[in-house]
Amino acid sequence: MSNHTYPQRLKRLEPYAELWRDDKKFVEHKAGLYATFYFKHTHSTRQSTQSTRQALVECWNDYWSVVGIEHWRWVYGFKNGSVPSYRVPTEKVPKIENYMGDSERANAYQYYASGGKHDDDASEYMFHVLATYVDPEFAFELATLRLQAPLAFVTNGDLPKFIALVKRCATRLKANQAYGGLGFLRTYNEESTTCRTEAQLAKVFSGTDIDIPHRLALQLANGWDGLKGISGAHWLNFLDDDWVTRLGGLEHLRSQLPEDLFKVEACPGGVFIQAGAYPEPGHKDDGLPPRYVWLNRVLKPIRLPAMQYHMGDTPGQLALPEDALSYFTRFDAASDALGSESNQAAKGSDLSVAPRHQTSAATGRVEGGQPCPQSGWWFTPAKVKSRRYFKAGELMPAIDGSDYGSTFWQWDLDQSAPKL
């Protein structure tokens, strides 16, 4: 089990806070906060896209009011296959309200703004919307919006502002799905080194996401097959009403996610799910974040069976099935063990809190009726609002009559006392 406090776990990201390309030309990755939104994009002959484009302008204004417009330094132009960058202010690229208001942009648009010191730098400040051309014969495809914010928001008191921003944008865009949390924020100027670095980072952190929206969008839905699934469990999650229905409805969803561990909030057009007060880095020495493992179990029925993050077939990137699948399904073994009574009987097999190098005997999972091995805060899926403090040696009770099955107490990575 991990004995580290949340600040200690978060501190593990410091060595990865800014990762330069090998030749030091620009920053390839930064650790920070992100949110990705997927929304339906149709051809204008089927349905007007004006309201969506207006919603994107509102998201733009909202975003910069939260993170600070003074951090905006670069805007990209997209012309005939070239992508020149311009230092702001500039007249080379229209203001977003003019760009989105242009009826010629109705069927395809892209707007990219960032705050790196150099134009190719990965940045904690980024607004990127992409809607590729959709064939009039198709009902829709998924367009994407990506927002990024500084890692410092987690500790400086601005985290609630970011969470509220995600909710507002998901509602404005009538998102099909959205998610966010800690992530490795990448340069726009992707190269092979970018992909190799992401594959390496994926082996170190399970809770700090690798996320490439324009690649994932084509797998989550397409014009031929329609909607195919969601991307999985994250710290922040938004699902539209159709996905919630497929999961059995709001109340059933709430019954699967104890309110002392998760925030499940009905929003216009869908449901917002927050897995804990803070986003977990999930360093390999701290183990898989328990709430993400739990949420993965609940969302798995509507998740894609597989995902490709990088293009091509280069080994050592998240492209080949043997490379990408292990990362995409990183929570599955622990989720399956959590949901199986027969597997629960194998005491000490909880991978959800075990550091990846630990043996099962050292994991934070105790069967009801056994003494507590270590003083601290524990919870059990067998009872709502079960989180409580046990002293070492104190008997950890079994919950009789639980619909969940056998009682297993799990060590909570968040060892802070509840706020009154």
What sections of 159-277 are H helices per DSSP?
159-172, 192-202, 213-220, 241-246, 250-256
pLDDT, tens digit (0-9, with 9 covering 90-100), for 50-68: 999 999 999 999 999 999 9
> In angstroms, rounded to a whole number, what is the distance separating the alpha carbons of residues 181 and 208?
7
pLDDT, tens digit (0-9, with 9 covering 90-100), for 245-303: 999 999 999 999 998 899 999 999 999 999 999 999 999 999 999 999 999 999 999 99
For residue 353, is pLDDT > 60?
no
- Supply the pLDDT for residue 349: 29
> In angstroms, rounded to a whole number, what is the distance separating the alpha carbons of residues 24 and 114?
19
Residue type, 85: S
Q: What is the dihedral of CA 364, 370, 375, 378, to 10 degrees?
A: 60
Residue extents of the structural domains in the chain: 6-330
Residue type, 113: A
- Supply the pLDDT for residue 364: 65
pLDDT, tens digit (0-9, with 9 covering 90-100), for 368-420: 888 888 888 888 877 878 889 998 878 899 888 776 667 888 888 778 777 65
pLDDT, tens digit (0-9, with 9 covering 90-100), for 5-27: 899 999 999 999 999 988 888 99
pTM reported for the whole predicted model:
0.82
- Supply the pLDDT for residue 248: 95
- In order, the DSSP letters of 255-267 are HHS-TTT-EEEEE
Q: Where are the beta strands (DSSP E) in 59-214?
A: 74-76, 85-87, 109-114, 126-131, 141-150, 177-186
- The mean per-residue pLDDT over the stretch 231-247 comes to 97
The more confidently predicted of residues 150 and 405 is: 150
- Supply the pLDDT for residue 62: 98
- The mean per-residue pLDDT over the stretch 160-164 comes to 97
Most confident of 7-21, 129-143, 163-177: 163-177
- The mean per-residue pLDDT over the stretch 166-191 comes to 96
Count Cβ atoms below 10 Å from residue 100 Cβ, excluding itself: 22
